């Protein structure tokens, strides 16, 4: 134990706690955890189950854009072409490009058609697009 020497050459015990080693150990542990934490978040492909959460509240008058199996479009219940889509959206959304568009697509629609439709929505300023799926278990 550390001791102090008095003027009469007697050793006296030091009753103070030395916290420097404790601080050193804590800093080393902190560095280890800072390095190890990002390694613990690894992207692993997992087939997740269907969600059972309560669906979010939809607006009073949702604006649905549907892509049918034959790749035809319908805004609400009215058929529309990809070229007519901007004018139809302008009329249906009252010019509000902040309005959320609920995009429904038949499961047989290819990815390219879906992306082309979403690109067209983005081109005309509708950035808030929600993809709609059937609720419940997948089959």
Q: What is the pLDDT of residues 69-84, one digit of tens each?
A: 888 888 888 889 888 8
Triad 130, 135, 137: Cα angle to 5°: 130
Average pLDDT over residues 116-139: 81
Quick one: pLDDT at residue 71? 87
Q: Residue 5 forms beta bridges with which residues?
A: 11
122 by DSSP, 3-state: which? helix
50-64 per-position pLDDT tens digit? 767 676 665 567 888
The tokens describing 33, both together, are 């955890």
What is the band of 31 on the pLDDT scale with cuts at 50, 70, 90? very high
- The mean pLDDT of 18-32, rounded to a whole number, is 90
- Kindly tell me the burial class for residue 67, based on how many C-beta atoms sit within 10 Å of its own C-beta (0-12, 13-18, 19 or more): buried
Confidence of residue 25 (pLDDT cuts 50, 70, 90): very high
Q: What is the pLDDT of residue 20?
A: 85
For residue 137, give Cα distances in angstroms to 30, 48, 50, 77: 44, 12, 6, 27
% of the chain exceeding 70 in pLDDT: 76
Which pLDDT band, with edges at 50, 70 and 90, does 45 fall under?
low
Collapse the DSSP code of 121 into the 3-class scheme (helix H, G, I; strand E, B; otherwise coil) and give the result. Answer: helix
Q: Where are the beta strands (DSSP E) in 76-123?
A: 78-80, 101-105
Residue 117, token pair as written in the block? 């439709």
* Residue 17 pLDDT: 80
Cβ atoms within 10 A of the Cβ of 128, count? 11
């Amino acid at each position: 134990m550390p001791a102090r020497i008095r003027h009469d050459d007697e050793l006296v015990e030091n009753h103070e706690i030395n916290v420097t080693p404790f601080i050193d150990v804590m800093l080393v542990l902190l560095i280890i955890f800072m390095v190890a934490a990002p390694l613990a978040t690894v992207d692993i492909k997992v087939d997740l189950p269907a969600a059972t959460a309560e669906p979010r509240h939809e607006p009073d008058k949702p604006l649905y854009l549907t892509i049918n199996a034959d790749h035809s479009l319908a805004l609400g219940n009215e058929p529309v072409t990809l070229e007519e889509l901007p004018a139809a959206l302008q009329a249906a959304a009252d010019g509000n490009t902040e309005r959320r568009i609920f995009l429904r697509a038949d499961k047989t629609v290819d990815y390219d058609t879906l992306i082309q439709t979403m690109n067209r929505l983005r081109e005309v300023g509708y950035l808030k697009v929600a993809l709609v799926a059937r609720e419940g278990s997948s089959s």
